[in-house]
Structure 1
Amino acid sequence: MVKQSVTWLNGQLLPTEQATVPVNDHGLLYGDGVFEGIRFYKRRAFRLQRHFQRLQLSARAIALAIPLSTEELTAVIERLIEAFADDDGYIRLMVTRGAGPLGLNPNSCSQPNVIAIADQLTMIAIDERQAGARLIVSSVRRLPADGLDPRIKSLNYLNHILAKIEANHAGADEAILLNGQGRVAEGTADNIFIVRDGRLLTPPCSEGALEGITRELVLKLAQDNGIETREQPLGVYDLYAADECFLTGTGAELIPVASIDCRSLPNCPGPVFQRLQQAFGRTIDQECGVVL
């Protein structure tokens, strides 16, 4: 068993530091490719087929043919999890356009590269997670859907990286990006929810948010637990006036928010967040628990 981060690269299983791609891969040169982040618990990938579905849709949207079938990708993920040292972890699955001559034209790339990395990923330190994340509203705006549809999970995250740099400079844990109309879109690597008067509110994906798989699950868990949910446009005022706020994502899982732009929230973690966190944990146990 490999006792470190491990990578599957075009059929080879390697320690991550030994895995290499050509410097003229268009994924590196231009961010031309798609990816998924996948959690696994108790050596079982969580919501794997839903991740594959989103990967395939992203690839189709950028006219990129994934060279492996769903069954072959499933075998790759299972092999990677088996080789990883820990029972729980995170996988970054990527499909790049592949190597080709300099120049934007993707027709020059003959073979996509498929890469899957198993490692640990912590979005926020454990002690800070318990105390709640500190957020800022970034000056960096989410790219508009008529420029790049937010449903495409591409390798080009520079827009979000710039917002994360701004959060780092402000001493915050995370940044919230607004769309071109000044309404809330998403975090740099997560979706955002607020609670007001017992209602769970989140921006619709048409506002510029990724169609998050954890977001989707949280909305269902809320409905199953009798929590009123609503997808509606949110402004910065709505963030400041929230009773609770939290972030969701495959990497983030569920993270409560303590403050936004130095404005403390009344509840962190709040009662709605705690109910949903417990329901989320039960879902993981049900879907990834060991069947005897």
Structure 2
Amino acid sequence: MNGSTPVWIDGEIFDATKASVNALDHGFTLGDGFFESIRVTDGRPRFLERHLLRLRQTADRLDLAIDPSDADLSTAIDDLIARYGSDSGRLRLTVASGAGPLGPVRGTTGPTVTIAIDALPHFAPTVRVVTVPWIRNERSPLAGIKSTSWGEGVEMLRRVRQMGADEALLADSTGRLSEAIAANVFLVLGGRVLTPSLASGCLPGIMREILLESGSVKEADIAMPDVFKATDIFIGSSLGGIRRVIQLDGRTSGGGKSEFFDQAQRWFEF
């Protein structure tokens, strides 16, 4: 299957062009599901245990029982990487709630679990960001979940790129900084490296988790106006690594040497 895109669906591997799922799966009709994006480096999935733990936590929160064990999923991922034929890539592990009636009530078939792999996109080490009027709703029942209902994110990124930027900084409904569209945010304020608390509705990202555990980053409630007081801003994810913000709303941001940036790059060297 080298050169094609293999996908794993409920225990079987198919070529992506020949794979299929039930057209009435609520993951398709309603976006009722969630996912993990996992970076593959040197033929190995990075931070797999952490991704699988978050997968289980999300499943519990959404009351979706996943049949494959972590060992089954790990084996499936190894098989996909081997068949893909490249030492680097991007894995997408998706759990859809399963087939059901066309309305919002879930069916009884149980979730559909799929894993796909494709080429790893290029992530530039620096980004241009803008502030936007759209918010991250910290009161949503899906706050902090990598939901397959990601149309909002797609539209946000499309508009942001029309503005000539790469990403956006989102506030929550109270005006606190929450996150970027597809990454967590880290700021240097008053000599400390801060990241928004989970109360802002941000994703409990893998990179964020590791940096908090290291003690080099602290959680804080950050008012959006304080973003412009930061001496440095970074966005980060386990897929794209740590990336420095060089422009905020059209104005130069950051610059100079950053011990945090250098340290984070070493930790997440891909």
TM-score norm. by structure 2 comes to 0.92
Percent identity of paired positions between Structure 1 and Structure 2: 31
User: Is the contact between residue 41 and residue 89 of structure 2 (CA under 8 Å) also seen in structure 1?
Assistant: yes
Q: CA deviation at 1:25?
A: 1.1
Task: Give the corresponding residue for 2:130.
Answer: 136
Size of the alignment, in residue pairs? 270
Task: Give the corresponding residue for 1:79.
Answer: 79
User: Is the contact between residue 256 and residue 268 of structure 1 (CA under 8 Å) also seen in structure 2?
Assistant: no
Task: Give the corresponding residue for 1:102.
Answer: 102
Taking a change above 3 Å as real, the CA distance of residues 268 and 161 of structure 1, as seen in their structure-2 partners, is farther
User: Is the contact between residue 130 and residue 169 of structure 2 (CA under 8 Å) also seen in structure 1?
Assistant: yes
User: Is the contact between residue 166 and residue 175 of structure 1 (CA under 8 Å) also seen in structure 2?
Assistant: no
Matched, 1:53 2:53: yes
- Cα deviations by residue, 1:179-227 (Å, 9 ceiling, x for unpaired): 0011111111110001134311110111111100111122334x3xxx4
Match of 1:263 among 226, 235, 251: 251
Task: Give the corresponding residue for 2:37.
Answer: 37
Task: Give the corresponding residue for 2:212.
Answer: 219
CA distance in 1, matches of 2:62, 2:256: 40
Could you tell me which runs of 5 or more consecutive residues in structure 2 were left unpaired when the two chains were aligned.
none
Task: Give the corresponding residue for 2:68.
Answer: 68
User: Is the contact between residue 134 and residue 257 of structure 1 (CA under 8 Å) also seen in structure 2?
Assistant: yes
Task: Give the corresponding residue for 1:121.
Answer: 120
Task: Give the corresponding residue for 1:154.
Answer: 147
Matched, 1:180 2:173: yes
Q: Which moved more, 1:62-71 or 1:150-159?
A: 150-159
Letter in 2 for 1:260: L
Q: CA deviation at 1:56?
A: 0.9
Q: CA deviation at 1:240?
A: 1.7
* 1:4-43 superposed matches below 5 A: 4-43=4-43
User: Is the contact between residue 198 and residue 272 of structure 1 (CA under 8 Å) also seen in structure 2?
Assistant: no
What's the RMSD between the two structures over aligned residues?
A: 1.9
CA distance in 1, matches of 2:5, 2:190: 44
User: Is the contact between residue 39 and residue 120 of structure 2 (CA under 8 Å) also seen in structure 1?
Assistant: no
- Cα deviations by residue, 1:73-92 (Å, 9 ceiling, x for unpaired): 11111111111221111100
Q: Secondary structure at the match of 2:153?
A: helix
Q: CA deviation at 1:269?
A: 7.1
CA distance in 2, matches of 1:268, 1:34: 39
Letter in 2 for 1:166: R
Task: Give the corresponding residue for 2:160.
Answer: 167
User: Is the contact between residue 218 and residue 280 of structure 1 (CA under 8 Å) also seen in structure 2?
Assistant: no
User: Is the contact between residue 97 and residue 109 of structure 1 (CA under 8 Å) also seen in structure 2?
Assistant: no
CA distance in 2, matches of 1:101, 1:92: 26
Match of 1:232 among 220, 245, 248: 220
Q: Secondary structure at the match of 1:246?
A: strand
Q: Secondary structure at the match of 2:66?
A: coil
Q: Secondary structure at the match of 2:87?
A: coil
Matched, 1:273 2:266: no
User: Is the contact between residue 245 and residue 254 of structure 2 (CA under 8 Å) also seen in structure 1?
Assistant: no
Q: CA deviation at 1:266?
A: 3.1
Task: Give the corresponding residue for 1:288.
Answer: none
CA distance in 2, matches of 1:236, 1:275: 26
Which is richer in helix?
1
TM-score norm. by structure 1 comes to 0.86
Letter in 2 for 1:27: G
CA distance in 2, matches of 1:271, 1:193: 13
Q: CA deviation at 1:48?
A: 0.9
| Superposed structure 1 runs of 4+ greater than 3 Å apart | 268-271
Task: Give the corresponding residue for 1:111.
Answer: 110
CA distance in 1, matches of 2:136, 2:165: 19
